């Protein structure tokens, strides 16, 4: 075979490099996807052991109110009732989102509609900065400021759902605000112009036109904030009191899924019922974060459809 023929038939160096590069980058991507599946596999394999190995009834796990794994409850079954933590987590998430939403949307409207210059100059940098503040710092402030404040104003020890709600409110406020502002900014300018041209006041334009057009984006912002609040561990753990009791009122010590997880996982033996029960809590956390994710996607798709129509 002559040289020219050979060089034409063989793969060039460039195409070899091309192949190698493509494979390397594909491996990187596969690695990330693999990690996600590993996380789900590992957490599920531990979390499901409570039900399959230790034969705890799923319904009793979700609705029981006694949490003391290792001892048997009043009904002769292991006392692994996760209801106090589930209620704590949901209560704190919903309450903090309820308080944060009006503030966040009000501020976002101010930033985009009323005073865009001040919004861009002061509010936006400040909120974006606060998104990056570590959660332990929020927890520390909660411990120093919020807990004593709640204790003096509402009585009790100060630790409880209310303190947790306040801490999470401040924590998700910057996130929800800056995402809502993005949603409002994405509303086309001619919507506002059309409304103003019809003789509507600025508030009528905001309330009847801009806010409605931005509903999907703002809902996404709120669900995003809720997901963050639901998964937050340390800041909540520091101020909630960590008592595995159904919360009687907003100022009695309570607990969340994340707070019990951070407290307990180091003190239990791998493979024991105490340990498996904690992994079941982690599994609930994982499933809820999936639910939030699906909700965000659903809202996004709905929003797109209604805008295109």
Partner 1 sequence: MNAKRIDKIATGVLYGVAALVVIILVALLGFILIEGVPQISWHFLTSPALAFEAGGGIGIQLFNSFYLLFLALLISLPISLGAGIYLNEYAPQNTVTGLIRTTIEILSSLPSVVVGLFGYLFFVVQFKLGFSIISGAFALTVFNLPILTRSIEEALANISDNQREAGYALGLSRWETVTKIVVPAALPSIITGVVLSAGRIFGEAAALIYTAGQSAPALNFSDWNPFDISSPLSPMRPAETLAVHIWKINSEGIMPDAKDVSAGASAVLIIAVLLFNFLARWLGKRLYKHLTAE
> Which 121-160 positions form the footprint of partner 1 (CB under 8 A)?
122-123, 126-127, 129-130, 132-137, 139-141, 143-145
What's the min distance (Å) between Cβ of 1 and partner 1?
25
3-state SS of 102-142 is HHHHHHHHHHHHHCHHHHHHHHHHHHHHHHCCCHHHHHHHH
Overall size of the chain counted in residues: 309
Query: What part of residues 246-305 is at the interface with partner 1 (CB under 8 A)?
Result: 258, 261-262, 265-266, 270, 279, 282, 285-286, 289-290, 292-293, 297
Site for partner 1 contains 231 (CB under 8 A): yes
For residues 295 and 302, the answer to whether their CB atoms sit within 8 Å is no
**Stretch near partner 1 under the rule CB under 8 A, chosen from 52-60, 71-79, 108-116, 187-195:** 108-116
Site for partner 1 contains 227 (CB under 8 A): yes
Instruction: State the residue for tokens 């990056």.
Output: 132
- Cβ nearer to partner 1, comparing 60 with 111: 111
Residues paired with residue 72 on neighbouring β-strands, in sequence order:
78
- Cβ nearer to partner 1, comparing 161 with 282: 282
Site for partner 1 contains 52 (CB under 8 A): no
What's the min distance (Å) between Cβ of 215 and partner 1?
18
Give dist(CA 240, CA 252) in Å, integer. 9
In the three-class reduction of DSSP (H, G, I as helix; E, B as strand; rest coil), residue 79 is classed as strand
- Cβ nearer to partner 1, comparing 66 with 274: 274
- CB crowding 176-201: b at 16 or more within 10 Å, else e: bbbbbbbbbbebeeeebeebeeeebe
H helices then E strands: how many in the chain? 16, 2
Terminal Cα distance for the chain, rounded: 65
Among residues 10, 35, 75, 272, which is the contact residue for partner 1, using CB under 8 A? Answer: 35
- Cβ nearer to partner 1, comparing 109 with 150: 109
Binding characters for partner 1, 57-96, by CB under 8 A (x = yes):
----------------------------------------
Instruction: State the residue for tokens 């409850």.
Output: 73
Among residues 1, 4, 8, 32, which is the contact residue for partner 1, using CB under 8 A? Answer: 32
Among residues 78, 174, 216, 247, which is the contact residue for partner 1, using CB under 8 A? Answer: 174
């Amino acid at each position: 075979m002559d040289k020219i023929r050979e060089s034409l038939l063989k793969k060039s160096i460039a195409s070899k490099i091309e192949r190698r590069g493509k494979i390397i980058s594909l491996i990187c991507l596969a690695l990330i996807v693999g990690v996600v599946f590993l996380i789900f596999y590992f957490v599920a394999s531990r979390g499901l052991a409570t039900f399959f190995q230790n034969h705890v009834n799923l319904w009793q796990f979700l609705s029981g109110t006694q949490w003391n794994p290792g001892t048997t409850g009043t009904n002769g079954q292991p006392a692994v009732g996760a209801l106090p933590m589930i209620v704590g987590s949901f209560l704190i998430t919903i309450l903090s989102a309820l308080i944060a939403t009006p503030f966040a949307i009000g501020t976002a409207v101010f930033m985009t509609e009323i005073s865009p210059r001040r919004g861009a100059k002061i509010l936006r940098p400040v909120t974006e900065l606060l998104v990056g503040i570590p959660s332990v710092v929020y927890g520390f402030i909660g411990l120093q400021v919020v807990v004593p404040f709640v204790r003096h104003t509402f009585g009790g020890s100060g630790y409880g759902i209310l303190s947790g709600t306040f801490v999470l409110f401040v924590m998700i406020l910057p996130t929800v605000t800056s995402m809502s502002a993005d949603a409002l900014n994405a509303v086309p300018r001619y919507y506002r112009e059309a409304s103003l041209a019809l003789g509507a006041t600025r508030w009528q334009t905001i309330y009847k036109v801009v806010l409605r057009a931005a509903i999907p984006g703002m809902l996404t912002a709120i669900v995003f904030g809720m997901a963050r609040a639901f998964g937050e561990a340390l800041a909540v753990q520091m101020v909630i009191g960590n008592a595995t009791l159904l919360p009687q009122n907003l100022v009695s010590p309570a607990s969340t899924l994340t707070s019990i997880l951070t407290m307990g996982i180091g003190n239990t033996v791998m493979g024991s019922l105490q340990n498996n029960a904690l992994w079941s809590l982690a599994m609930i956390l994982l499933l809820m974060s999936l639910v939030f994710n699906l909700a965000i996607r659903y809202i996004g798709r709905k929003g797109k459809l209604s805008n295109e129509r």
